[in-house]
Structure 1
């Protein structure tokens, strides 16, 4: 198991590096590699797995440490596409044990209603049929579209939140990163930590506004885990205001804490031919059971921090409001 980063070096050149998992600071630059996308394409072409390919490449020690690159905001999202329009960002919800509770608190008033809510019904469907036998398809999950590559914010950079948003709250999740091969077969490149930021107040107004609430920016990384994912991922989600922690909560992910298998979630995404176009990148957020929204509201300037030991350095982003027009007018041609 290895962890990769994409970054800009002191000569302002794109690089790919292997992170030393012992100290988490030293980086071995992969000579000649400028993107994980290109490396993944090469692995598919060579009928090789990505880890074997990466380990076969010559390396040299990078002078900068990972912490210094993060502080200088030179670390990029760990997977991207040369054309952002060919990168899909999607996700699934109500996939984790306990995830229905937070969602239902947003949409129902008392326990009697909770038992009848669509969220609870969807959650129970996952518990009953989300982990089918290998090679079989189980119940389909809640699914949403979030955007294309233009919405991905690099680690340590600010989230631009449109002025029409009613909320900006984190969602600490695991992200599956995929590349479609020349024949359309999806290949999993690896996993990363992600912040699937959403507008929960808009969603709470009416569940049918869920699609609107998801059309926001997101972030993932800074490190990409290549190889098999541990079944039990334990992490922490924090919010800092003016440099001081104001909220903190543990979260759990991995299949041991989920009502669906990754294979089932992947099947119900890639079963659509639309998502099997050769050369496209897919980032898929797998859901969470932990949200600060259940306890508090965030404010512009707050910093989100999501960490889990298996993924190395934490993912950090703050947020700021970006003024948008009060009304968009379409012109007639």
Structure 2
């Protein structure tokens, strides 16, 4: 029971870290365009992160992404030490990338750590290759989809507003950024909170054969308090900010105006809603970065700092293998004591 409770607390701590690590995703454009102050922006984003709980629970009616994450490892190979090692590895990589200001993916970090610990314990037979391949494919697909949607949305909006007074348009787009930021924050909550839910669900499933009181049969049996806690933790984390990553996302990729902020956030939100429907956990970081690139490319290709983009891509591609290696190494240490 103590081990299970420790995993749940650690997973919620990761969710909190995810909130401040990924706060930049929801608030970067709205802060850099000075629509809201940093403090106002994180309160705004945190509120809509939590709204996502009620959308998942009462409108969508399921937590599909949580189910996908819990299936990263075959059920018969899931043990509490494996989950503990995976979460610790994910926390370490998340804190390291936050400290360095690298906008890596919290979701892929969690999945990589979980898979790496399982591989160390039981070999590659323990992981569901098809699930991991689908998740890994969206490391490239999510930013690409966001970029394409943003590019064509930009062209459409520019055409519709071609005769509008520039100053008047600027004011309108500043107001619209409140809506677009809220939409993206909802998408962030829908996607990222469920990843931690999936890990906690896997822990509760692993606890069931041990006859621990909180054990469950399937993800469908996950208690409401788990979902509520995950959405609350990520909202609380968002309120603590993440200013190093805001700087990278908001100034180093391309210069963002209110118009570009609206298009990037709306395009990113649409991408997250699509992947929520497909039940595929994706990175909100990758999604908004791709959208910002797409917006920048409509001005001219040179408006996007492709050198920074290349560095981001390298960090994204390294996230799963590096976090898997961390999870594997930590499992070796954990197995010495448990």
Q: Normalising by the residue count of structure 1, what TM-score does the alignment of the two structures yield? A: 0.26
More helix by proportion, 1 or 2?
2
Q: Normalising by the residue count of structure 2, what TM-score does the alignment of the two structures yield? A: 0.26
